[in-house]
Every structure is written in structure tokens, then in C-alpha cells.
Chains A and B, each alone.
Chain A
Amino acid sequence: MTAIVETRALTKRYGRRTALADCTLTVPAGRVVGLVGPNGAGKSTLLQLACGLLTPTSGTVEVFGRPPAADGAQLGRVGFVAQDTPTYAALTVADHLRLGAKLNPRWDAALAERRVRQLGLDPTQRSGRLSGGQRAQLALTLAVAKRPELLLLDEPVAALDPLARRAFLQSLMEFVAESESQATVVLSSHLVSDLERVCDHLIVLAGSRVQADGEIDDLLATHFRLTTARRDTDTLPAGMRVVNAEHTERQSTFVVRAERAVDDPSWVMEPLGLEDLVLAHLTADPRPVLEPQR
């Protein structure tokens, strides 16, 4: 499995505030990777480091084995849709397509125009007058018409209503299905249900550390909620790794990681939804969460 993005001990500080600390991870090729974590976990910082908008305080980040944004060619291979999907308010939809065509050597004009038509965007409309969902779609169009091999999306659907969100994800999946040698996508979000649909790989980031990392199907198949009479964590059988434990006077509820469900009359062991799975990993680390960085 080739790594498209690889970070080693990646750290970013703003003055005395740490936005991302000691982050080591790899993004495998050809996957749609969900980057999930609470606000301020460093998702945005990580993505901006990967596309070269930010430079690391220490540690390294490599994209396609090279530093990000090293030159025009490298920039052309990476598409980025920033948080709040900025576009030039005074420029029309058609102007934006022209911008993309002028600035990107591998620009796919036919794709861009087809997408704008499909989305029902008026090419003469100024982007400042578009709805949030339309603007996000325009930003996505700009990013995918570059024909990127890596597409980075920073909370693209966070500000959208459910309808626009679904439309955006449909567009995104269409791009993934259409790209010849399948593009790698990294998508940050705190909406786990969206990630579950569109991602096949998940990275859980909390306290700027990787808490869980793997194929979503594997994660779902190996995480269970185990409800039992109150007992200590270390009395559970070997082969079960406790992610999270909660106790009441009489009852203990564990989120465990195990190869398979183990039947035992003394407990109920059931599969765990992705959202609960992620939450279990997020609450596993009691360290305080930093304020979001913009």
C-alpha cells in the first residue's frame, strides 16, 4: 500500500499555542479517508500542512514523497477545498472556471462545464450571490477539474443543510468513481454518519494524536459494546482491548476491540455503530481539547 501523505512527528505551533502536536500518520493510496475529531483536534491544520498552505514548526509532511506545494507540478496534483469554501465573491461562475483553466495545466474544461450544467449553476451568476451549497459545489468543481491525484477537503459540508450536503457528497463520489487511476481523497468532518457513507478509511484524531486508524469495515467488525455486571477492566479475557469503560454501581459498559464477538452468558456483546465507535475513541483520551483554530 503506497502512502500518498506521510507525516512524521508533525507539529504546528502558533506562538505558544499548539495546533497540532507530534502527529504521525499515513494516508493510503486510492482511498477515501475520513479525518474525524473534535473541533481543535488539528484536522484543519493537518490538511493545510498537507497542501502546503502552512509549513510545519517541526517534523515532516510529504505528499507523493515530496514536500507539499514544492512547485507548480506538485500543486497541480493536489486539489484543496478550504473550510467555508472560499470563492471570489465578485467573480462569476464562468470567471471561476476560466481562472481554473488559466492556472492549471491539466484543467479538464469539459468536466468543469458538465458539472456546472448538472448542478444547474448560472455561469453569469456572481459567486457572492450563490447559496452556501452552490458555492461549495463550485469550489469542489474547481478542485476536481484540476484532475488531482489527491483531493483534500476541509469540513466541506459542515455549513450546509442536509439536502446540499447530500448533493455535495454525491458529486464527490461521482468524482471518485470517475477518476481513472482512483484518486485519493481526505475529507475532514465531525459528521460521522456522512463519513461512514463516503469513506472507506478512517483516521480519528483527538488531542492532535491519532486515536484510531483503519479501514471502516475492519473497524466496524472489530469494535463491540460489552454490557455486563460491574467488573474490573482487567478481568476481561485476553484479546479484548478496552477502548472505553463506564461503570455504574451495578453495571459496566465497555467498548472493546476484539477479533470477533465472544458469546458468554454473563454479558451482552453487540456490534457498535461508527458514531459510537468514534466517540469511544475520542473519550478514551481525557486530555483537554484545544480551542478550534481558524
Chain B
Amino acid sequence: MIEFHIEPRSGVAPYLQLVHQVRQALRLGLLHEGDRLPKVKDVAAKVAINPNTVLKAYRQLENEGLVSPKPGVGTFVTGTLGEPATSEHEPLRQELRRWLASARAAGLDPESIEALFRQTFRSTVEEER
């Protein structure tokens, strides 16, 4: 069973914070398929958070295919993040290194590179949606 927490000043909607925490737990191996998520009522009472927020987070996770509710029993983890194994990270890292080097060669300072990366990353993610 995992525990949730809320960081009010983050600017991230509370339900998204819960979603992130479930994904993180999956990634870290704290949650496995078949595990039950805490009951909405318990999360609400423990974290002092609106039950609607918990419901919304669980629905979002359901839409992502990570969990599914069993009426009257609870919400269970059904999926994994399906990410490629860490070993496949290496070739991607190499590629990124090469790109960073060419960005430096083009005269961009680290902060400009970061801004450019973030900007491109965000617009790409949005286009994919």
C-alpha cells in the first residue's frame, strides 16, 4: 500500500500530484500488478484532501490503463508503465549527447539549451495529444 502526500505550493493540480505519485510508485517498483490502491475515503481522511480529487486521480489512472476499479472491493493496479528496460536508455542518451554538443557548437549557453529543450518537449507532447 502506498501513501500519498500533497505539496500545495507546487502549482500542480492536486489530482495530478496523486497520479504522478502512483506512476512513480510503479516505476520504483513499490506497486505491482494486482495491488490495491488505498480507499478513496482513507486517502481523503489521511491526507486531508477532497475525496473528489482522489476519485479524479483514480479515474485518470484508469483512463491510462494503469488501474481498474472493482465495484465494492476497491481499485487495483492492472498495468505497468510499459517502458522499455533501462538498457535501452543508453543509445538514446548517446543521441542526446550528440545533439547537446552541436547546440554548444552553435553558441547556445546551457540555460538557452535547457529552455529550447523544454519548449520543444512541451509542444511535441501537446501535438501528440
Chains A and B in contact, CB within 8 Å: yes
Chain A interface residues (CB < 8 Å from chain B): 31-32, 166, 169-174, 176-178, 182, 192-193, 196-200, 216-217, 220-221, 260-261, 263, 270-275
Measured CA separation A135–B102 after assembly (Å): 66
Could you say which of B22-30, B40-48, B79-87, B88-96 contacts chain A?
A: B40-48
Measured CA separation A170–B119 after assembly (Å): 39
6 pairs, A vs B, C-beta closer than 8 Å: A177-B44, A197-B49, A220-B11, A263-B122, A271-B12, A275-B9
Measured CA separation A157–B44 after assembly (Å): 18
Question: Which of A173, A178, A220, A270 contacts B49, CB < 8 Å?
Answer: A173
Contact A197 B47 (CB under 8 A): yes
A198/B52 contact (C-beta < 8 A), A177-B44, A217-B13 known: no
Q: Which of B2-56 contact A (CB under 8 A)?
A: 6, 8-15, 40-41, 44-53, 56
Contact B51 A177 (CB under 8 A): yes
Residues of A within 8 Å of B56, CB to CB, are: 217
| A288 CB → nearest B CB, Å | 29
Of A169, A176, A196, the most chain B CB neighbours within 10 A belong to: A196
Chain A's interface: helix, strand, loop or mixed, by majority? Answer: helix
Of all chain B residues, the one with the shortest Cβ separation from A271 is B11
Contact A200 B123 (CB under 8 A): no
Of all chain A residues, the one with the shortest Cβ separation from B123 is A263
Contact B52 A174 (CB under 8 A): no
| B56 CB → nearest A CB, Å | 7
Contact B13 A170 (CB under 8 A): no
Question: Which of A31, A169, A196 contacts B52, CB < 8 Å?
Answer: A31
Chain B's interface: helix, strand, loop or mixed, by majority? Answer: helix
Question: Which of A174, A182, A275 contacts B45, CB < 8 Å?
Answer: A174
Measured CA separation A41–B112 after assembly (Å): 44
Contact A221 B119 (CB under 8 A): no
Of all chain A residues, the one with the shortest Cβ separation from B6 is A197
| B17 CB → nearest A CB, Å | 10
Residues of B within 8 Å of A221, CB to CB, are: 13
| A81 CB → nearest B CB, Å | 16
Contact B41 A174 (CB under 8 A): yes
Contact B11 A177 (CB under 8 A): no
Residues of B within 8 Å of A169, CB to CB, are: 48
Measured CA separation A197–B44 after assembly (Å): 10
| A123 CB → nearest B CB, Å | 22
Contact B52 A200 (CB under 8 A): yes
Residues of B within 8 Å of A32, CB to CB, are: 50, 52
Measured CA separation A217–B55 after assembly (Å): 13
| A49 CB → nearest B CB, Å | 25
Residues of B within 8 Å of A172, CB to CB, are: 48
Of all chain A residues, the one with the shortest Cβ separation from B39 is A177
Residues of B within 8 Å of A217, CB to CB, are: 13, 15, 56
Contact B50 A198 (CB under 8 A): yes
Measured CA separation A272–B13 after assembly (Å): 10
Contact A273 B9 (CB under 8 A): yes
Residues of B within 8 Å of A171, CB to CB, are: 45
Contact B51 A197 (CB under 8 A): no
| B8 CB → nearest A CB, Å | 4
Contact A174 B44 (CB under 8 A): yes
Contact B8 A199 (CB under 8 A): no
Residues of A within 8 Å of B45, CB to CB, are: 170-171, 173-174, 177
Instruction: Please name 8 further chain A to chain B contacts, defined as beta carbons within 8 Å, in addition to the given A178-B41, A196-B14, A220-B12, sorted by A numbering.
Output: A166-B48, A192-B8, A197-B47, A198-B49, A220-B13, A273-B8, A274-B8, A274-B11
| B121 CB → nearest A CB, Å | 11
| B115 CB → nearest A CB, Å | 8
Measured CA separation A260–B29 after assembly (Å): 34
Residues of B within 8 Å of A178, CB to CB, are: 41
